[in-house]
Amino acid sequence: MAQDEVALVTGGGRGIGLAAARRLLHDGFRVADIEVNEKALDAARAAIGQNESRFLALVGSVVDSEAMSSAVERITQQWGRLDVLVNNAAVNRPGGLSTQVESDWDAVLSVNLKGPFIASRAVAETMKAQGSGSIVNIGSIGAAGLGASPAYAASKAGLIGLTKQMAYELGPSGIRVNLVAPGVTTTDWVERNLGPERIQSAEKAAPLRRVGSPEDIAAVIAFLASSDSRHVTGQVISASGGAWMP
């Protein structure tokens, strides 16, 4: 159990982000969630419930450097430290090479790749001063293509490169950087946009014959956030039931 360590989860108001926030709270962390969507924050507060005194909800965008710096300042003023960053905030836009419009490309690359860069830069100095920290990037098996749109595939593949670069740069300061790549995971978004037939197809295609739940992904995040992974950095962990084996 973490002894009052502090985690920041981006996009923690729903799906994998909310599951990660709840798991980290269960494991003893104090958790801050930054969301661009205030309704999602309200839902997160309701879901957190009795842990509200250990939960801080912040409104802001991961692509806004000032907002992220202010969030880190607020967290360290309130709790005195920052041990874990979960770069979870992401968007997706449909399309193929000939149909995906440039504005969608720009939006996806901005949130999914620039966002983790900005958020990681915002927490780095605090973690360096502590001499420790863990950054967990949430990627996707879409990094391998596998039916993803061009923008989404490129953003998640780029995040793998960023993960490895940061692991090399920040490792000497005691900061670990790893990436979790979920496969099909039963978030509200997936259930709404993929539908039962595609989810069943994903189950049949995976070696474990199942799709993931947000809690499955949160468990891997919790491992990477904990001292149990103190000798693990620069790694891509596919939490996909074997659908992608990088």
Catalytic residues: 152
The structure tokens 């300042």 sit at 73
Q: Phi then psi for 12, rounded to 5 degrees?
A: -90, 20
Nearest to 88 by CA among 10, 151, 160, 180: 10
CA distance 18 to 69: 22
Query: Quick one: tokens of 237?
Result: 């962990």
Strand order in the sheet with 30-35: 55-59, 30-35, 6-10, 84-87, 133-138, 175-182, 236-239
Query: Quick one: tokens of 84?
Result: 């874990």
CA distance 40 to 149: 25
The structure tokens 């502090």 sit at 6
Q: Which amino acid is at 194?
A: L
Nearest to 191 by CA among 180, 202, 181: 202
CA distance 59 to 54: 17
Torsion on CA atoms 50, 56, 57, 61, rounded to nearest 10 = -150
